[in-house]
Amino acid sequence: MIRTSLIVALALAAATPAFAQRANLPAEPAALGAPRAGDWRVADAENVVVIDTNRGVIFVELAPRLAPTHVERIKTLTRQGFYDGRSFFRVIDVFMAQTGDPLDTGAGGSELPDLTAEFTFRRGAGDPFVAVADTGGSQTGFVGVMPVMTQSPMLMAMTADRKITGWGLYCPGVAGMARGSEENSANSQFFLMRQAYPSLEKRYTAFGRVVAGLEVVRAIKTGEPVAAPQDQMTRVRMLADIPAAERPTVRVVDTAGPWFAAQVARMRAEDGADFSACNLKIPSEVK
């Protein structure tokens, strides 16, 4: 089956001026220095995929809160060595880089069954969520490094499970699962966003985000299909499986911390009506 149908549309919702007060964010942009020791968190090695390519190394932090079965599939195939040597066979400059197909055609997959789509997730009052914009009818924010949009939390009191629907935003670096024409046809192929592409939202499962190596993703050779020789994932491992003596530490600025809140305030002041979660940078370090 062909897993390549992706098209353009939509724009992200703009933020309202009064939101900074409602979300307890600074009303004016603070001077933004370098993140301090307390502004960082160490990424869970069990949820970081390390992708060695001929262009460099890409680190993807997985988001099990948004897409648990897709995250488990990525982990399983990674640990099977399935992704080693797979090519980036479809790469569009202002869009994404697609890989994970043993046929390198868009028609292949693993021997495991196809996955049920996880285009959306349910957000509860106690779930980790950092709001950065509010339109009244919806909120935009972050679950870890994942940019997401949800229904208004005011609706929680009206739903049977006291939760609301959320979905991942396809910002630069977001990892999504490719699929065919059927919604429940994702299997092994995935793509890494080179730029924002909001028309994919609620149509393709977002399962993680590049936290280091986005410049590598953007350096991958383009083409539909890519002409030989194609860039490759030479080796793909879970960070937790790398021997301790060799394992790097991946640190990411905490989106729930004060440094990130100050960045949100600054960007809101600078961008005004053009403010977007996709424009917010989340610093990272790999040591």
Domain membership flag for residue 89:
yes
User: Where does the pLDDT of residue 274 fall: very low under 50, low under 70, confident under 90, or very high at 90 and above?
Assistant: very high
Domain membership flag for residue 132:
no
Tens of pLDDT, residue by residue over 147-199, are 999 999 999 999 999 999 999 999 999 999 999 999 999 999 999 999 999 99
Beta strands, E only, 63-143: 86-87, 90-91, 96-99, 121-124, 130-134, 138-143
CATH number at residue 179: 2.40.100.10
User: 3-class DSSP state for residue 112?
Assistant: coil
Distance CA(104)–CA(229), nearest Å, equals 12
Task: Give the CA angle between residues 48, 8, 198 to the nearest 5°.
Answer: 45
**At which residue do the structure tokens 């953007």 appear?**
218
Domain membership flag for residue 233:
yes
Say how many domains are in the chain.
1
Domain membership flag for residue 80:
yes
Tell me what pLDDT residue 27 has.
43
User: Where does the pLDDT of residue 31 fall: very low under 50, low under 70, confident under 90, or very high at 90 and above?
Assistant: low
Domain membership flag for residue 113:
no
Domain membership flag for residue 117:
no
Phi, psi for 192 (deg, rounded to 5): -115, 125
pTM of the model: 0.88
Query: What's the whole-number mean pLDDT along residues 105-118?
Result: 97
Report residue 218 as tokens. 């953007």
- The boundaries of the domain holding residue 271 are 47-102+175-282
Phi, psi for 237 (deg, rounded to 5): -140, 155
Report residue 53 as tokens. 């390519």
Beta bridge pairs of residue 98: 90, 191
Percent with pLDDT over 90 in the chain: 87
> CA-CA distances (angstroms) from residue 80 to 70, 73, 76, 111, 224?
15, 11, 6, 12, 28
Beta bridge pairs of residue 209: 61, 174
Q: 58 and 212 in contact (C-beta within 8 Å)?
A: yes
> CA-CA distances (angstroms) from residue 54 to 77, 230, 231, 234, 254?
20, 10, 6, 7, 30
Domain membership flag for residue 215:
yes
Report residue 142 as tokens. 């972050």
Q: 65 and 166 in contact (C-beta within 8 Å)?
A: no
